[in-house]
Amino acid sequence: MELMGKSALVTGGAHRVGRAVALALARHGCDLMLHYFHSGEAAADTAAEARASGRRVATCAADLGRMEGVQSLFAEVDRTFGGLDVLVNSAAVFEPVPLLEASEDDWRRTMDLNLRGAAFCLQQAAQRMKARGGGAIVNISDAAGHRPFRRYPLHSISKAGVEMLTRAAALELAPSIRVNAVVPGPVLKPPGMSEESWHQITTRGPQRRPGTPEAVAEVVLFLLRNDYITGESLRVDGGDLLV
């Protein structure tokens, strides 16, 4: 896919990996819908930086854990761009909840955003892409979807679901719409994690250092551009899964 002039939506695009992806898309010629929920100030800052690339950039606040939020976001996409060519599903919650103590609300909060929200955003995007003759979707997965994180079991389960969502959607939506995933490893320290723990995690892998959100964004661009890759999950983890 040639990205210049395409309309793109990045969910969770205000900060962290989503921000890096949004800025990369703008630099490579995409008009951008930047989704956020609570991070309004960060979204405004990211949008301002993206506009410096000379592209149209709009922001939209929505709770993607609810179907009403998904619908309102895509209604704004329609009003702004009249359709969609690219979706990057980056919005997610990452909470340490012990499996045996997890409440119904804990399950609902994680699954509704990380998996159900991603699935309904994919559904809405695909409907619009079909009307345009095709498109491309990249889901931001997580190493936890391949190897469970002890303190984050619900997050791990939700991201394993995103992995299957990617493959199932790629099969159903081919050939006009491609669906892939990027699997970041240790590229940003989780909120609340100690520096000591982060150092241990980022130095255990073959590369002996953390990655960057920009490295993840580069792989997103690669998957969007390459028209013969679909149903794939590419790890950007410095080989962390090997250990």
Backbone phi, then psi, for 132, in 5-degree steps? -100, 0
Token duo for residue 91: 């919005």
Q: How far is CA 8 from CA 53, 187, 189, 230, in A?
A: 14, 23, 27, 18
| Total residues found in the chain within this entry | 243
Backbone phi, then psi, for 29, in 5-degree steps? 100, 5
* CA atoms of 107 and 98, how far apart (whole Å): 11
User: Is 152 noted as a catalytic residue in this protein?
Assistant: yes
Say which of 36, 152, 189, 228 is annotated catalytic.
152
Say which of 36, 130, 159, 228 is annotated catalytic.
159
For the chain, the farthest-separated pair of C-alpha atoms sits apart, in whole angstroms, at 50
Token duo for residue 103: 């409440």
User: Is 228 noted as a catalytic residue in this protein?
Assistant: no
User: Which residues have a catalytic role annotated?
Assistant: 152, 159
